[in-house]
Amino acid sequence: MIDLNKLDEMAKKLSELVPPSLREGGEELQANMKSVLQSGFSKLDLVTREEFDVQRGVLLKTREKLEALEAQVSALELSSRSRDPEI
């Protein structure tokens, strides 16, 4: 879910970029920009920072397990070769 406070900040910053002569409906303009931003972001396949960090942690643990398994397989292969050099 998109942080609505961030959308408010972005809409405010965008409305400040509008030339002063066009700022008559400042609050309305800011509300419209917020609506457009929210609509645009909702169409994107975005994740929150928290979700990203959780998945990153899962990936790191998986990578560690994979590396441990690769080391274990290598050790077993070496052990197997030393017992039976024809393999």
Same structural domain, 1 and 42: yes
pLDDT category, 4, cuts 50, 70, 90? low
pTM over 0.75: no
Same structural domain, 26 and 67: no
Task: Say how many domains are in the chain.
Answer: 2
Same structural domain, 33 and 61: no
Average of per-residue pLDDT across 13-33: 72
- Per-residue pLDDT for 81 more than 60? yes
pLDDT of residue 57: 97
Q: For residue 41, what are the domain limits?
A: 1-46
* Structural contact between residues 7 and 37, judged by C-beta atoms closer than 8 angstroms: yes
Same structural domain, 83 and 59: yes
Residue range 50-80, pLDDT digits in tens: 999 999 999 999 999 999 999 999 999 998 8
